[in-house]
């Protein structure tokens, strides 16, 4: 039987106000085969208008006023609600709170924000006032990953909005909202779909593999793989498998210590590992890449271990020496 298709990404949306971006995200999720679904709308303001809309649409909601709570405790409650709802990605949509570093770090790469300016211009508040005062020809909107530094994470998508003669912050803001509603659902969908895109996953894998010493890429049985050593006598330590032999997994195959370890991994963590056709018989395990929240450090550890198991001693010794510094 083929493995089940990977699930849609479950997103929790955090709002503080009207929630028009939340609504745009929600309605987009119900059209066609959108790769995400909204599992929770949460707010730091129990009176936020967006909560009533989410409820009417049958989405779970959570509200907790932040007044009188420490930032850490309030963040922890929002995070617990997101986890409880089964969220694997958090999407901020007009959530007007600075988040504690710990919260942001735990969701690194899995928390997105929308900001009404063309970042890196105009971080923080009053972006329209500042863009008009500066005489800019364009304002705009950015979707970015959230990092501890405010509005500074990697920009994933932007849309430019012309500043018209006589624009006020209010008229400009209304037009930027229209652009936001187009951009945000699309940017979120593209971002979460990366996790099931073989080209994206292979590019990530290749970057890690080729950073190991004396590695080259070589095809084997029609799929790319990585070898250590010379072009002539190198040995494979990783194979990329894109839904091979009826499997729905996109995976990297790496060498384990043997059949006992392989079977143990597959039995105890079937969401992470599987026994691949053919290679499995000689102790190679599949590490699944097309699943929510792949830990790329973990993938890198496996690549290094597999590399080490076939690298000439001279190379692995050098690598050990380098690790000591
Ligand atoms: C949006 O314009 C969003 O870009 C902005 O708040 C508004 C929320 O509107 N976010 C920020 O300024 C974050 N620094 P909405 O509640 O109608 O989606």
CATH of the domain at 69: 3.40.50.170
Taken as a whole, the chain contains a residue count of: 325
- Asked whether 17 lines ligand 1 (CB < 6 A), one says yes
9-31, pLDDT tens digit by residue?
999 999 999 999 999 999 999 99
> At 32, phi and psi to the nearest 5?
60, -150
Cα(300) to centroid(ligand 1), Å: 37
**1 lies in a domain?**
no
Q: Is the model's pTM score more than 0.85?
A: no
Mean pLDDT of the chain: 94
* Pairwise CA distance, residues 323 & 198, whole Å: 31
Looking at the structure, tell me whether residues 161 and 175 fall in a common domain: yes
Mean pLDDT over 121-130 rounds to: 97
Looking at the structure, tell me whether residues 271 and 309 fall in a common domain: yes
pLDDT at 38 over 90: yes
Cα(94) to centroid(ligand 1), Å: 4
- Asked whether 15 lines ligand 1 (CB < 6 A), one says yes
Active site residue 115: yes
- Asked whether 114 lines ligand 1 (CB < 6 A), one says yes
Given 177, 196, 215, the domain boundary residue is: 196
Residue among 41, 94, 179 to mutate when testing ligand 1 (max atoms within 8 A of CB) = 94
* Pairwise CA distance, residues 106 & 232, whole Å: 44
Measured CA distances, 108 to 120, 144, 148, 181, 295 (Å): 19, 12, 9, 24, 11
Mean pLDDT over 64-87 rounds to: 97
**3 lies in a domain?**
no
Cα(18) to centroid(ligand 1), Å: 9
Measured CA distances, 102 to 12, 105, 135, 171, 202 (Å): 18, 5, 38, 37, 30
**130 lies in a domain?**
yes
226-273, pLDDT tens digit by residue?
999 999 999 999 999 998 887 889 999 999 999 999 999 999 999 999
Strand 273-274 to strand 215-220: parallel, antiparallel, or no bridges (unpaired)? unpaired
Burial pattern 242-271, b for ≥16 Cβ within 10 A else e, equals bebeebebbbbbbbbeeeeebeebbeeeee
**Number of compact structural domains in the chain:** 2
Q: Which of 4-18, 77-91, 157-171 has the lowest mean pLDDT?
A: 4-18
Looking at the structure, tell me whether residues 97 and 179 fall in a common domain: yes
Looking at the structure, tell me whether residues 189 and 259 fall in a common domain: no
Measured CA distances, 35 to 11, 32, 152, 183, 190 (Å): 10, 9, 26, 15, 8
CATH of the domain at 265: 3.90.1150.30
Cα(172) to centroid(ligand 1), Å: 13
At residue 193, the 3 state secondary structure works out as helix
* Pairwise CA distance, residues 106 & 116, whole Å: 25
> At 149, phi and psi to the nearest 5?
-75, 135
Q: What percent of the chain has pLDDT over 90?
A: 88
**22 lies in a domain?**
yes
Is residue 115 within 8 Å of 187, Cβ to Cβ?
Answer: no
* Pairwise CA distance, residues 232 & 45, whole Å: 65
Mean pLDDT over 281-288 rounds to: 96
Residue among 19, 42, 91, 116 to mutate when testing ligand 1 (max atoms within 8 A of CB) = 116
Looking at the structure, tell me whether residues 146 and 247 fall in a common domain: no
Looking at the structure, tell me whether residues 184 and 244 fall in a common domain: no
Among 10, 66, 74, 115, the one annotated catalytic: 115
Looking at the structure, tell me whether residues 183 and 308 fall in a common domain: no
Give the angle 288-292-202 at the CA atoms, nearest 5°: 50
Mean pLDDT over 137-161 rounds to: 97
At residue 99, the 3 state secondary structure works out as coil
Place of tokens 């510094």: 325
Mean pLDDT over 143-166 rounds to: 96
Protein residue closest via CA to atom 3 of ligand 1: 94
Tell me the residue range of the domain where 163 lies.
9-196
């Amino acid at each position: 039987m083929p493995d089940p298709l990977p699930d849609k990404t479950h997103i929790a949306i955090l709002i503080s106000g009207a929630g028009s971006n939340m609504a745009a995200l929600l309605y987009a999720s119900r059209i066609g085969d959108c790769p995400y679904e909204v599992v929770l709308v949460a707010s730091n303001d129990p009176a936020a208008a967006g909560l009533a809309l989410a409820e009417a649409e049958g989405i779970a909601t959570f509200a907790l006023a932040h007044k009188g709570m420490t930032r850490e405790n309030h963040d922890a409650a929002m995070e617990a609600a997101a986890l409880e709802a089964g969220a694997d990605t958090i999407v901020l949509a007009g959530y007007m709170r600075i988040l504690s570093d710990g919260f942001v770090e735990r969701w690194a790469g899995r928390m997105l924000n929308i900001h009404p300016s063309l970042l890196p211009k105009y971080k923080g508040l009053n972006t329209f006032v500042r863009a008009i005062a500066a005489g800019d020809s364009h304002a705009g909107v950015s979707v970015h990953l959230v990092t501890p530094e405010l509005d500074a994470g990697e920009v994933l998508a932007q849309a430019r909005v012309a500043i018209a003669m006589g624009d006020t912050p209010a008229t400009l803001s209304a037009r930027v909202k229209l652009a936001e509603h187009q951009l945000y659902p699309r940017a979120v969908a593209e971002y979460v779909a990366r996790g099931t895109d073989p080209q994206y996953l292979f590019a990530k894998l290749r970057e890690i593999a080729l950073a190991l010493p004396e590695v080259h890429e070589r095809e084997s049985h029609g799929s790319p793989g990585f070898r250590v050593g010379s072009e002539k006598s190198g040995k494979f330590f990783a194979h990329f498998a894109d839904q091979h032999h009826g499997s729905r997994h996109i995976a990297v195959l790496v060498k384990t210590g043997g059949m006992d370890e392989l079977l143990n991994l597959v039995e105890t963590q079937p969401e992470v590992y599987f026994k691949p056709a053919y290679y499995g018989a000689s102790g190679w395990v599949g590490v699944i890449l097309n699943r929510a929240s792949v830990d790329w450090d973990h993938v890198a550890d496996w690549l290094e271990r597999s590399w080490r198991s076939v690298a000439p001693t001279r190379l692995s010794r050098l690598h050990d020496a380098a690790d000591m510094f």
